[in-house]
Structure 1
Amino acid sequence: MNVYSTEEPGYDTSVSPEQESELLPCVAKRRESVKVPTTYLVGMEGSPLVKIGFTSGDPKKRLASLQTGQPMKLSLLWSSEGNHESALHHRFAPHRVRGEWFDLTPLGDPVQVVEDAILPGRGLNCSEAGDAGPSERRAEADRGCTRLCLRAQQEPSPLQQLHGGGLGGMA
Protein backbone atom coordinates (compact mmCIF):
# COMPACT_ATOMS: atom_id res chain seq x y z
CA MET A 1 0.00 0.00 0.00
CA ASN A 2 1.37 3.37 -0.99
CA VAL A 3 0.24 5.64 1.81
CA TYR A 4 2.67 8.49 1.19
CA SER A 5 4.30 9.34 -2.10
CA THR A 6 5.53 12.35 -4.01
CA GLU A 7 6.30 13.09 -7.62
CA GLU A 8 9.81 14.30 -6.86
CA PRO A 9 12.48 12.01 -8.38
CA GLY A 10 14.58 10.17 -5.83
CA TYR A 11 12.11 10.91 -3.04
CA ASP A 12 10.13 7.81 -2.15
CA THR A 13 7.98 7.83 0.95
CA SER A 14 5.86 4.85 0.05
CA VAL A 15 5.11 2.55 2.97
CA SER A 16 4.64 -1.19 2.80
CA PRO A 17 1.73 -2.82 4.70
CA GLU A 18 4.27 -4.19 7.21
CA GLN A 19 5.80 -0.75 7.77
CA GLU A 20 2.36 0.81 8.06
CA SER A 21 1.33 -1.66 10.78
CA GLU A 22 4.52 -0.80 12.67
CA LEU A 23 3.92 2.95 12.30
CA LEU A 24 0.25 3.00 13.38
CA PRO A 25 0.92 2.52 17.13
CA CYS A 26 3.51 5.30 16.95
CA VAL A 27 1.06 7.62 15.19
CA ALA A 28 -1.67 6.76 17.73
CA LYS A 29 0.70 7.44 20.63
CA ARG A 30 1.73 10.75 19.08
CA ARG A 31 -1.93 11.71 18.63
CA GLU A 32 -2.59 10.93 22.34
CA SER A 33 0.29 13.19 23.37
CA VAL A 34 -1.24 16.25 21.71
CA LYS A 35 -2.24 18.65 24.48
CA VAL A 36 -5.81 19.94 24.36
CA PRO A 37 -6.51 23.01 26.49
CA THR A 38 -9.32 22.13 28.89
CA THR A 39 -11.18 24.05 31.56
CA TYR A 40 -12.54 21.91 34.39
CA LEU A 41 -14.68 22.05 37.50
CA VAL A 42 -13.68 19.90 40.48
CA GLY A 43 -15.86 19.29 43.52
CA MET A 44 -14.80 18.31 47.03
CA GLU A 45 -16.73 15.69 49.01
CA GLY A 46 -18.76 17.21 51.84
CA SER A 47 -18.22 20.78 50.63
CA PRO A 48 -20.11 23.22 48.42
CA LEU A 49 -16.78 24.50 47.06
CA VAL A 50 -15.69 23.90 43.48
CA LYS A 51 -12.33 24.53 41.84
CA ILE A 52 -12.35 26.24 38.46
CA GLY A 53 -9.14 25.22 36.79
CA PHE A 54 -7.32 24.73 33.49
CA THR A 55 -5.03 22.06 32.18
CA SER A 56 -3.27 21.51 28.88
CA GLY A 57 -3.41 17.76 29.48
CA ASP A 58 -5.95 15.19 30.60
CA PRO A 59 -8.35 16.57 33.25
CA LYS A 60 -8.45 13.14 34.95
CA LYS A 61 -4.68 13.23 35.37
CA ARG A 62 -4.94 16.74 36.74
CA LEU A 63 -7.58 15.50 39.20
CA ALA A 64 -5.23 12.76 40.38
CA SER A 65 -2.51 15.37 40.90
CA LEU A 66 -4.86 17.60 42.91
CA GLN A 67 -6.08 14.67 44.99
CA THR A 68 -2.58 14.03 46.31
CA GLY A 69 -2.71 17.20 48.43
CA GLN A 70 -6.31 16.88 49.60
CA PRO A 71 -7.66 14.85 52.52
CA MET A 72 -11.23 14.93 51.10
CA LYS A 73 -12.22 13.03 47.94
CA LEU A 74 -12.23 15.23 44.84
CA SER A 75 -14.29 14.52 41.74
CA LEU A 76 -14.28 15.90 38.23
CA LEU A 77 -17.71 17.50 37.81
CA TRP A 78 -17.34 19.05 34.37
CA SER A 79 -14.81 19.83 31.66
CA SER A 80 -14.83 21.64 28.33
CA GLU A 81 -12.23 22.15 25.63
CA GLY A 82 -10.76 25.63 25.62
CA ASN A 83 -9.21 27.91 28.18
CA HIS A 84 -12.12 29.63 29.93
CA GLU A 85 -10.42 29.69 33.34
CA SER A 86 -9.52 33.41 33.55
CA ALA A 87 -12.90 34.52 32.24
CA LEU A 88 -14.74 32.23 34.69
CA HIS A 89 -12.57 33.40 37.60
CA HIS A 90 -13.35 36.96 36.60
CA ARG A 91 -17.09 36.29 36.23
CA PHE A 92 -17.41 34.51 39.57
CA ALA A 93 -14.96 36.66 41.58
CA PRO A 94 -17.68 37.66 44.09
CA HIS A 95 -18.07 33.96 44.93
CA ARG A 96 -14.34 33.23 45.35
CA VAL A 97 -13.55 31.63 48.70
CA ARG A 98 -9.82 31.22 48.21
CA GLY A 99 -7.50 30.92 45.21
CA GLU A 100 -9.31 28.93 42.54
CA TRP A 101 -12.03 27.66 44.91
CA PHE A 102 -15.52 29.13 44.62
CA ASP A 103 -18.92 28.66 46.25
CA LEU A 104 -21.33 28.88 43.33
CA THR A 105 -24.28 27.26 45.13
CA PRO A 106 -26.02 30.62 45.75
CA LEU A 107 -26.29 30.84 41.93
CA GLY A 108 -27.69 27.31 41.51
CA ASP A 109 -26.12 24.02 40.46
CA PRO A 110 -22.40 24.82 39.95
CA VAL A 111 -22.12 22.72 36.78
CA GLN A 112 -25.14 24.38 35.18
CA VAL A 113 -23.96 27.82 36.30
CA VAL A 114 -20.55 27.29 34.63
CA GLU A 115 -22.07 25.78 31.48
CA ASP A 116 -24.43 28.73 31.18
CA ALA A 117 -21.54 31.13 31.69
CA ILE A 118 -19.61 29.87 28.67
CA LEU A 119 -22.58 29.89 26.30
CA PRO A 120 -22.43 32.79 23.80
CA GLY A 121 -24.75 35.59 24.79
CA ARG A 122 -25.14 34.27 28.34
CA GLY A 123 -23.30 34.75 31.62
CA LEU A 124 -19.80 35.83 30.60
CA ASN A 125 -20.15 39.47 29.76
CA CYS A 126 -16.98 41.44 29.26
CA SER A 127 -18.64 44.50 30.75
CA GLU A 128 -18.90 42.69 34.12
CA ALA A 129 -15.37 43.77 34.89
CA GLY A 130 -16.12 45.04 38.40
CA ASP A 131 -14.11 47.66 40.22
CA ALA A 132 -10.95 45.74 41.06
CA GLY A 133 -7.81 47.84 40.84
CA PRO A 134 -5.34 47.38 38.01
CA SER A 135 -3.16 44.34 38.41
CA GLU A 136 -1.53 41.67 36.31
CA ARG A 137 -4.16 39.17 37.37
CA ARG A 138 -6.97 41.54 36.41
CA ALA A 139 -5.39 42.23 33.03
CA GLU A 140 -5.07 38.49 32.41
CA ALA A 141 -8.74 37.99 33.30
CA ASP A 142 -9.75 40.81 30.96
CA ARG A 143 -7.72 39.31 28.10
CA GLY A 144 -9.31 35.91 28.75
CA CYS A 145 -12.78 37.41 28.84
CA THR A 146 -12.16 39.33 25.61
CA ARG A 147 -10.88 36.21 23.82
CA LEU A 148 -13.85 34.23 25.06
CA CYS A 149 -16.35 36.88 23.97
CA LEU A 150 -14.74 37.23 20.55
CA ARG A 151 -14.73 33.48 20.07
CA ALA A 152 -18.33 33.24 21.24
CA GLN A 153 -19.35 35.61 18.44
CA GLN A 154 -17.63 33.43 15.84
CA GLU A 155 -18.42 29.82 16.76
CA PRO A 156 -20.95 27.74 18.67
CA SER A 157 -20.01 26.62 22.16
CA PRO A 158 -19.21 22.94 22.91
CA LEU A 159 -22.61 22.64 24.57
CA GLN A 160 -24.35 24.07 21.50
CA GLN A 161 -22.40 21.67 19.27
CA LEU A 162 -23.50 18.79 21.49
CA HIS A 163 -27.13 19.82 21.00
CA GLY A 164 -26.74 20.27 17.24
CA GLY A 165 -26.68 24.05 17.39
CA GLY A 166 -29.92 24.27 19.39
CA LEU A 167 -30.22 24.40 23.11
CA GLY A 168 -33.32 22.25 23.47
CA GLY A 169 -35.18 24.70 25.68
CA MET A 170 -32.11 25.83 27.63
CA ALA A 171 -32.15 29.40 26.23
Structure 2
Amino acid sequence: MTKKGTVYLINAKGTNRYKIGYTNRHFEQRLTELSGGQSPFPLIATKTIIVEDAHTIELGLHHKFASQRMHGEWFEFNSRQLKEVCKTMDQATLPLPKGLPFLLMIAGLITLLCPLFLKQCQQPQFKTTPSIHRPK
Protein backbone atom coordinates (compact mmCIF):
# COMPACT_ATOMS: atom_id res chain seq x y z
CA MET A 1 0.00 0.00 0.00
CA THR A 2 1.41 3.37 -0.98
CA LYS A 3 1.31 6.36 1.33
CA LYS A 4 1.20 9.97 0.30
CA GLY A 5 4.11 11.88 1.76
CA THR A 6 6.82 14.45 1.28
CA VAL A 7 10.13 13.70 -0.37
CA TYR A 8 12.69 16.30 0.65
CA LEU A 9 16.13 17.55 -0.21
CA ILE A 10 17.81 19.43 2.60
CA ASN A 11 21.21 21.08 2.69
CA ALA A 12 23.72 21.28 5.50
CA LYS A 13 24.33 25.03 5.26
CA GLY A 14 27.79 25.98 4.06
CA THR A 15 28.46 22.56 2.49
CA ASN A 16 27.66 20.62 -0.68
CA ARG A 17 26.04 17.91 1.44
CA TYR A 18 22.35 17.14 0.96
CA LYS A 19 20.00 14.66 2.58
CA ILE A 20 17.39 12.95 0.43
CA GLY A 21 14.61 11.64 2.62
CA TYR A 22 10.87 11.30 2.99
CA THR A 23 8.26 11.68 5.67
CA ASN A 24 4.58 10.90 5.99
CA ARG A 25 4.27 13.59 8.67
CA HIS A 26 4.41 17.35 8.24
CA PHE A 27 7.74 18.23 6.68
CA GLU A 28 8.33 21.04 9.18
CA GLN A 29 8.18 18.51 12.03
CA ARG A 30 10.76 16.33 10.29
CA LEU A 31 13.07 19.28 9.60
CA THR A 32 12.88 20.37 13.25
CA GLU A 33 13.63 16.80 14.32
CA LEU A 34 16.68 16.58 12.05
CA SER A 35 17.91 20.04 13.07
CA GLY A 36 17.63 19.21 16.76
CA GLY A 37 20.85 17.32 17.23
CA GLN A 38 21.29 15.11 14.17
CA SER A 39 23.39 17.65 12.26
CA PRO A 40 26.28 19.86 13.31
CA PHE A 41 25.20 22.33 10.57
CA PRO A 42 22.02 24.38 10.24
CA LEU A 43 19.69 22.55 7.83
CA ILE A 44 17.92 24.34 4.99
CA ALA A 45 15.10 22.91 2.89
CA THR A 46 16.21 23.02 -0.74
CA LYS A 47 13.23 21.26 -2.32
CA THR A 48 10.16 19.32 -1.23
CA ILE A 49 7.57 17.46 -3.27
CA ILE A 50 4.34 15.82 -2.18
CA VAL A 51 3.82 12.49 -3.95
CA GLU A 52 1.64 9.42 -3.66
CA ASP A 53 4.41 6.92 -2.93
CA ALA A 54 7.07 8.94 -1.14
CA HIS A 55 9.14 5.97 0.01
CA THR A 56 9.47 4.52 -3.50
CA ILE A 57 10.40 7.94 -4.92
CA GLU A 58 13.01 8.38 -2.19
CA LEU A 59 14.50 4.93 -2.91
CA GLY A 60 14.62 5.76 -6.63
CA LEU A 61 16.50 9.00 -5.94
CA HIS A 62 18.94 7.16 -3.65
CA HIS A 63 19.53 4.60 -6.39
CA LYS A 64 19.92 7.15 -9.19
CA PHE A 65 22.42 9.27 -7.27
CA ALA A 66 24.23 6.43 -5.46
CA SER A 67 27.61 7.48 -6.86
CA GLN A 68 27.31 10.77 -4.93
CA ARG A 69 26.34 9.09 -1.63
CA MET A 70 28.61 10.11 1.24
CA HIS A 71 26.96 8.48 4.24
CA GLY A 72 23.51 6.97 4.76
CA GLU A 73 21.01 9.33 3.13
CA TRP A 74 23.58 12.12 2.72
CA PHE A 75 24.95 12.96 -0.71
CA GLU A 76 27.42 15.48 -2.07
CA PHE A 77 26.27 17.42 -5.14
CA ASN A 78 27.94 20.09 -7.23
CA SER A 79 25.66 22.72 -8.81
CA ARG A 80 25.05 20.68 -11.99
CA GLN A 81 24.17 17.55 -10.02
CA LEU A 82 21.92 19.55 -7.72
CA LYS A 83 19.93 20.81 -10.73
CA GLU A 84 19.60 17.21 -11.93
CA VAL A 85 18.29 16.08 -8.52
CA CYS A 86 15.71 18.91 -8.50
CA LYS A 87 14.66 18.10 -12.08
CA THR A 88 14.27 14.42 -11.20
CA MET A 89 12.14 15.37 -8.19
CA ASP A 90 9.96 17.58 -10.43
CA GLN A 91 9.49 14.69 -12.86
CA ALA A 92 8.25 12.51 -10.01
CA THR A 93 5.30 14.89 -9.52
CA LEU A 94 4.07 14.71 -13.13
CA PRO A 95 0.76 12.91 -13.57
CA LEU A 96 0.90 9.55 -15.31
CA PRO A 97 -1.70 8.09 -17.68
CA LYS A 98 -4.24 5.73 -16.08
CA GLY A 99 -3.06 2.15 -15.70
CA LEU A 100 0.54 3.12 -16.23
CA PRO A 101 1.41 4.09 -12.62
CA PHE A 102 1.14 0.50 -11.42
CA LEU A 103 3.31 -0.81 -14.24
CA LEU A 104 5.88 1.93 -13.70
CA MET A 105 5.92 1.24 -9.97
CA ILE A 106 6.58 -2.47 -10.66
CA ALA A 107 9.30 -1.60 -13.19
CA GLY A 108 10.87 0.80 -10.68
CA LEU A 109 10.84 -1.79 -7.93
CA ILE A 110 12.39 -4.38 -10.25
CA THR A 111 15.08 -1.89 -11.23
CA LEU A 112 15.81 -1.13 -7.58
CA LEU A 113 15.66 -4.69 -6.28
CA CYS A 114 17.20 -6.63 -9.18
CA PRO A 115 20.84 -5.78 -8.31
CA LEU A 116 20.22 -6.86 -4.71
CA PHE A 117 18.60 -10.12 -5.82
CA LEU A 118 21.34 -10.89 -8.34
CA LYS A 119 24.04 -10.24 -5.75
CA GLN A 120 22.40 -12.78 -3.42
CA CYS A 121 22.10 -15.35 -6.21
CA GLN A 122 25.77 -15.34 -7.11
CA GLN A 123 27.55 -18.57 -6.35
CA PRO A 124 29.91 -18.26 -3.39
CA GLN A 125 33.55 -18.27 -4.38
CA PHE A 126 35.51 -20.89 -2.46
CA LYS A 127 39.27 -20.75 -2.32
CA THR A 128 40.95 -24.07 -2.54
CA THR A 129 43.27 -24.92 0.27
CA PRO A 130 45.93 -27.58 0.18
CA SER A 131 44.84 -30.97 1.45
CA ILE A 132 46.03 -32.09 4.82
CA HIS A 133 47.59 -35.54 4.70
CA ARG A 134 47.48 -37.40 7.95
CA PRO A 135 49.87 -40.26 8.57
CA LYS A 136 48.26 -43.65 9.09
- 1:41–1:52 CA contact under 8 A, matched in 2: yes
More strand by share: 2
Correspondence for 2:17 among 17, 38, 49: 49
TM-score scaled by structure 1?
Answer: 0.48
Contact 1:38 1:56 in 2 (8 A): yes
Match of 2:42 in 1: 73
- Identity among equivalent positions (%) equals 28
Give CA deviations for 1:85-115 in whole Å, capped at 9, x if unaligned: 111001111111010001121x6152x3223
Whole-angstrom CA distance in 1 between matches of 2:111 and 2:67: 11
Deviations 1:104-162 (A, max 9, x none): 21x6152x3223214169xxx95976x94439xxxxxxxxxxxxxxxxxxxxxxxxxxx
Structure 2: gaps of 5 or more residues: 95-106, 119-136
Change (3 A) 1:101 1:108: same
- Structure scoring higher RCO (CA < 8 A, sep ≥ 6) equals 2
Total equivalences in the alignment: 96
Runs of 4+ in 1 over 4 A off after TM superposition: 125-129
Provide TM-score, normalisation by structure 2. 0.59
Find the aligned partners of 2:116 and 2:21 in 1 and give their Cα distance.
23
* Cα drift, residue 71 of structure 1: 2.1
